[in-house]
Amino acid sequence: MRRFVADRARRAVTSAASMRAAATRSAAAPSAGAAPSAPSPPAAAAAAMASAMVRAMSTAAAGAAPVSLDTINPKVLKCEYAVRGEIVTHAQNLQQELQKNPDSLPFDEILYCNIGNPQSLGQQPVTFFREVLSLCDHPALLDKSETHALYSSDAIERAWQILDKIPGRATGAYSHSQGIKGLRDEIAAGIAARDGFHASGDNIFLTDGASPAVHMMMQLLIRSENDGILCPIPQYPLYSASIALHGGSLVPYFLDEETGWGLEVDELKKQLEEAQSKGITVRALVVINPGNPTGQVLAEENQKKIVEFCKNEGLVLLADEVYQENIYVEDKQFHSFKKIARSMGYTDDDLPLVSFQSVSKGYYGECGKRGGYMEVTGFSADVREQIYKVASVNLCSNVSGQILASLIMNPPKAGDESYESFMVEKDGILSSLARRAKALEEAFNSLEGITCNKAEGAMYLFPRVHLPQKAIGAAQAAGTAPDAYYARRLLEATGIVVVPGSGFGQVPGTWHFRCTILPQEDKIPAIISKFKEFHEKFMDEFRD
């Protein structure tokens, strides 16, 4: 509408200017044989009216915003990211209200269970990692005698090793666009130790967390809306957002909630064929393992079938493996897709594969440090040059994040001074997360109308809420999705922030929410109590 008004204003200005010019010419042109005279009253009036119209329409045109929702990139409008969507914005407004008027709401704090941000909820950073980071950022400390009393000897030694790999020993300087070579080599060594297969630092691209790496691959693969990316539903909204921003098509495949969010190859084939029938060229398959928001850990045999599917269909396998340290069940363990592919005998020539890792998750939870990487294998040299070109547009990722990425893949080892204290911190965090996941899962399953699969890994639960028809009707009357309505009511009654399942995608007609397991363990009983009280009242209010 605003664009229409602006166009009308511009046309009117042009028309009025023409009228004024015509009136001026008419008034100024003398008749044959007559001397020039002042403009006649009608001509003067016409000129005055035209001038007034020019001024009025110029003002209207000037009042139209040069940038509006009608004129920005429509791909931005299409992009959505529910993890920080309307519910979270509302929570932030309520938090401001609490600060101004502490007794104005029926709760005294906002409990952010919407996002995997461990340190914001009280998780402490791992000592060894922070010691090395501080020494690298302030190398002058290494020359002070008191440093040896404050820092472990292996942290000091590791800081020297890392600084020797950084040109000029300057963490505040730009690095190579792919990341510091020595740190990439350290990460590759960590991957090789994890998988038992060779890894090369030349295949590592260091990024500010995993998200820029995902954007980079979408930018590389998507040429138009006729290019599709197979994504799990439910999925982490980064993928749908990135696909939308780059103008592609999301091709959904549904995880099976009844089998613990299983990933069935028959479902992949079905969705691939359906997309192809619509003229979509499917370029890649996204697999999130362990799952976000669903928390499942894929079995090795399942992974082999997925690799075989990608090989047979000529798809790039995009493996989101940022939760590889977060495994909470004894009968499951993490296997990287690269390890699976190599164990099947596939080499770089057989399968294009990208693995994403981040310092934000695991037991480290260093979200604010923005460190991560992607390991890129199976791409030709000329395509790799294009990936590097895209990376170079951003100059480089932050160097502190690069250092941290190298540390998480090469933590202290047995015999190092920090090893025992490091393992106490690591095991303490992971065992506590497992207990929190179990407590929340059991609490959700004890409630009427809620079913919740076990969190085998990652940092989330994704319960299904069987909402009464009256609640669904109330949500429709409010103009919102039923699970968003439920989440908003939960927030306003308890201060607990969760993300509606509609933001992740779900089987039509089902409703879910994602809840992190990250609030500190001593707060979990209170969260469960508040949630139970709310849910019971909600179900009573809308009972059919």
Q: How far apart are CA 507 and CA 466, in angstroms?
A: 13
Mean pLDDT value across the chain: 86
The structural domains of the chain, with segments of one domain joined by +, span 77-122+426-542, 126-169, 174-409
Q: Which one-letter amino acid corresponds to residue 252?
A: P
Q: Is 123:429 a contact under the CB 8 Å cutoff? A: yes
Helical pair 482-494 and 469-478, crossing angle rounded to 10 deg? 90
Distance CA 446, CA 419 (A): 41
pLDDT computed for residue 497 by the predictor: 93
In which band, very low, low, confident or very high, does the pLDDT at 35 lie, cut at 50, 70 and 90?
very low
Please, what's the b/e burial string for 455-493 (b: 16 or more CB within 10 A of its CB; e: otherwise)? bbbbbbbbbbbebbeebbebbeeeebbbbbbbbbbbbeb
8 A C-beta contact, residue 299 and residue 238: no
In this predicted model, what pLDDT tens digit does every residue of 278-292 receive, in sequence order? 999 999 999 999 999
Report how far apart, in Å, the C-alpha atoms of 135 and of each of 140, 198, 474 are: 8, 31, 57
Let me know: does 139 contact 169? Beta carbons within 8 Å. yes
Distance, in Å, from the CA atom of 430 to the CA atom of 328, rounded to the nearest integer, reads 8
What sign does the dihedral 154-157-162-163 (CA atoms) show?
Answer: positive
pLDDT of residue 75: 79
Whole-number percent of the chain with pLDDT over 70: 88
Reference 488, options 114, 117, 104, 237; nearest CA is: 114
Contacts 24+ apart (CB under 8 A), 157-166: 158/132, 158/407, 159/131, 159/132, 159/135, 162/132, 162/136, 162/403, 162/406, 163/136, 163/139, 166/136, 166/399
Degrees, nearest 5: CA angle 516-522-524: 40
Contacts of 532 (CB under 8 A, 6+ apart): 443, 446, 447
Distance CA 469, CA 485 (A): 13
Torsion-angle region of 334 (φ positive above 0: left; ψ -120 to 50: alpha; else: beta): beta
Which pLDDT score, from 0 to 100, does residue 32 have?
A: 39
**With contact defined as beta carbons under 8 Å apart, do 533 and 502 qualify?**
no
pLDDT at 25 > cutoff 80: no
Angle at 502 between CA 496 and CA 506, to 5 degrees: 125
Find out if CATH 3.90.1150.10 is the number for domain 77-122+426-542: yes
The Cα 391–Cα 373 span in angstroms is 12
Residue-wise pLDDT for 398-420, tens only, equals: 999 999 999 999 999 999 999 99
DSSP code of residue 132: H
For residue range 451-507, list pLDDT tens digits in order: 999 999 999 999 999 999 999 999 999 999 999 999 999 999 999 999 999 888 888
What radius of gyration do the chain's Cα atoms show?
Answer: 30
Per-residue pLDDT at 22: 45
The stretch 60-77 carries a mean pLDDT of: 76
Is 497 strand, coil or helix?
strand
pLDDT of 402: 95
Q: Could you confirm whether domain 174-409 is CATH 3.30.505.10? A: no
Query: Which one is predicted more confidently, 181 or 57?
Result: 181
- Among residues 166, 168, 209, which one has the least CA distance to residue 397? 209
Structure tokens at 365: 């939870």
DSSP state at residue 209: S
Give the pLDDT score at 108.
87
pLDDT of residue 51: 58
CB-CB contact of 490 with 498 (8 Å): yes
pLDDT of residue 84: 64
Task: Please state, in angstroms and rounded to a whole number, the distance separating the CA atoms of residues 121 and 111.
Answer: 8
- Per-residue pLDDT at 67: 86
Stronger pLDDT, 30 or 382, i.e. the higher one? 382
Q: Is the pLDDT of residue 20 over 50?
A: no
Strand partners, 320: 288, 356
438 residue type, one letter: K
Q: Where are the beta strands (DSSP E) in 40-143?
A: 111-112
The pLDDT of residue 225 is above 70: yes
Confidence of residue 47 (pLDDT cuts 50, 70, 90): low
Rounded CA separation 236/504 (Å): 6
CATH code reported for the domain at 126-169: 1.10.287.1970
Q: Are 170 and 398 in contact (CB under 8 A)?
A: no
